[in-house]
Structure 1
Amino acid sequence: MTSSPARWTTEELAEDATVSASLFRTERLSVSGAWESHYQNARNKFELLFQKLNNLNPDGITDANLADAYGSGLGETLRYLAGPPISDDDLQVIADVDSIAPGVLKKKPEDVRKLFEVIERVIDIHRFPWLNAGTAPTDQERDAALLASSVLLAAQRIATERRVVGKDGQETQVKDYLRSQGFTEVTAATITTIVKGPQPMQFCAECLLGERKADVVVRLHDSRLMAIECKVSNSATNSVKRLNNDAAVKAEYWLKMFGTLQVVPAAMLSGVFKVMNLEQAQQRGLALFWAHDLDKLGAFIGSTK
């Protein structure tokens, strides 16, 4: 008889959710070093941009210094002159250019001007009021614009880093734990039948299990596949999207596709989750584990021998 993952009680789920939320708060409050680094990096970029474009003096912005700015890797900084900042994709489509890569733009100065004309139309007049007046900025206006722009870019960079590093870090944590249990990572490949994919004492990452991607797939000792979704949530509201509208939906698909005796859908959780959402996901066939207590994952894997 195959072993089934534990179904946690409401009290057990609430206890783990409390621990996870507490760890999340601690991590968020220890961000000062990262913030300083992102702010200083953004500040350096905007100071360099102002230097190359003559403090954004309307009479001092030429095709030559725009090309120089793009060639110096300041394309993102230029996009952040807009209010709100404009994305790479939007800028390329609106300007109707083939590419915004610096190497391509170097050969097409006319495209550089088209890009900046788009940015000029949506320039943030609150940060750069002198552009409307058609004058050079005062020292006070320049300093205020540098500060506001640097904070805006730094905030976006740290938000992006949190999203990427959070999930990637959790996935790395899971893979490192599996290695500590004697498992070996193998190259990911699409798994269309239960006999494909990792073999005994193996796992793979970022692979298609049927038509849905799984973050980590482990071959259990009893030959079943365990599909683990790594989910990091920064709020109880966000947990619905991460857990119920994504991981639980995949769980139902995998169970229907491969059968309840062949696959074990699971989620590895960290951050903030609402207990009601955890209970709902568990009822839909998703096994729940926590990044702060990986030994429970190890205990289940061991029980499949």
Structure 2
Amino acid sequence: MSADHLLIAPRSAGFDRLHHMCYNRIIADVVLVGVVLRSRMINADKPHLWKQDIAASVDYFNRWFIDFAPETFRNARAETVNQVEKTFRATNDLRNLTLLKQNPEALSNLRMCTAPPLAADRLIGLAGVSKHLINTMERGKLPARMAPALLDGDLTKLCNTLIKLLDRDIFPWLNSGANPTDQERDRAAAIV
């Protein structure tokens, strides 16, 4: 990535003023051999320049967004679809959420499979489980020191809550009992 693509660009005489702007007026000096950051305020005492600086910063960000955001979004969407498809495989197309114990990393995708999609804190309250359980599962693990009986009970409550809230418009095979077609599975993974 060249220095021109940095939101906070290298400071040197050759760069125009636009490259020296950012919302908090901090400029980073970058040394090509290694990265050395020195921050200093450049116009905190010049409020008459703030509107011009903000406009320049917004323009810079907008140019960056148009040049890089679509590809970044496509890449993130492809990775998310892969993760959702992995969750489908791990849960027998959402028909066996008890497999969540072997695949705790699937929880964040399962939260997005509900109607409406659930924030972690909302799921904690609805299922009546501990925040520690949800946070640990979101990191792809199970709590190491949780009593097995308590863990199994909380996972059951968690699965029961998710099953009640799964979006059956996106996952029509849950109502019909049939296996999803490839087209249904692909569509559902792209939506989630």
**8 Å contact kept, 2:100–2:107:** no
Flag the structure with larger Rg: 1
2:182 aligned with 1:145, yes or no? no
Q: Helix, strand or coil for the counterpart of 1:144?
A: helix
In structure 1, which of residues 58, 76, 88 is the aligned counterpart of residue 120 of structure 2?
Answer: 88
Instruction: Give the letter for the 2:100 counterpart.
Output: L
Structure 2 residue aligned with 1:33: 71
Distance 1:106 1:136, change over 3 A: farther
Instruction: Give the letter for the 1:20 counterpart.
Output: S
Structure 2 residue aligned with 1:103: 142
* Structure 2, gaps ≥5 residues long: 1-43
In structure 1, which of residues 51, 69, 76 is the aligned counterpart of residue 103 of structure 2?
Answer: 69
Q: What is the Cα deviation at residue 7 of structure 1?
A: 4.6
Q: Distance in 1 between matches of 2:51 and 2:103?
A: 53
Q: What is the Cα deviation at residue 144 of structure 1?
A: 0.7
Query: Superposition RMSD on alpha carbons, in Å?
Result: 2.5
Structure 1 residue aligned with 2:38: none
Q: What is the Cα deviation at residue 127 of structure 1?
A: 1.3
Structure 2 residue aligned with 1:43: 81
Q: Number of residues paired by the alignment?
A: 138
The TM-score with structure 1 as length reference comes to 0.41
Q: What is the Cα deviation at residue 132 of structure 1?
A: 2.6
Distance 1:106 1:144, change over 3 A: farther
Q: Deviations over 1:87-146 (max 9, x none)?
A: 111111211123222323793223212112111222222211221333322222111101
Structure 1 residue aligned with 2:166: 123
**8 Å contact kept, 2:100–2:106:** no
Between the two structures, name the one with larger relative contact order (CA 8 Å, sep ≥ 6): 1
Instruction: Give the letter for the 1:35 counterpart.
Output: F
Q: Deviations over 1:154-208 (max 9, x none)?
A: xxxxxxxxxxxxxxxxxxxxxxxxxxxxxxxxxxxxxxxxxxxxxxxxxxxxxxx
Distance 1:33 1:106, change over 3 A: farther
Instruction: Give the letter for the 2:59 counterpart.
Output: S
Moved more, 99-108 or 85-94: 99-108
Q: Deviations over 1:25-63 (max 9, x none)?
A: 11221213322332222122111111111122x3xx162
Q: Distance in 2 between matches of 1:7 and 1:26?
A: 26
**8 Å contact kept, 1:67–1:106:** no
- Identity among equivalent positions (%) equals 26
Q: Distance in 1 between matches of 2:97 and 2:52?
A: 61
Q: Distance in 1 between matches of 2:71 and 2:97?
A: 37
Deviation beyond 3 Å, 4+ runs, structure 1: 5-9
In structure 1, which of residues 17, 21, 34 is the aligned counterpart of residue 58 of structure 2?
Answer: 21
Instruction: Give the letter for the 1:135 counterpart.
Output: A
* Structure 1, gaps ≥5 residues long: 150-305
2:156 aligned with 1:113, yes or no? yes
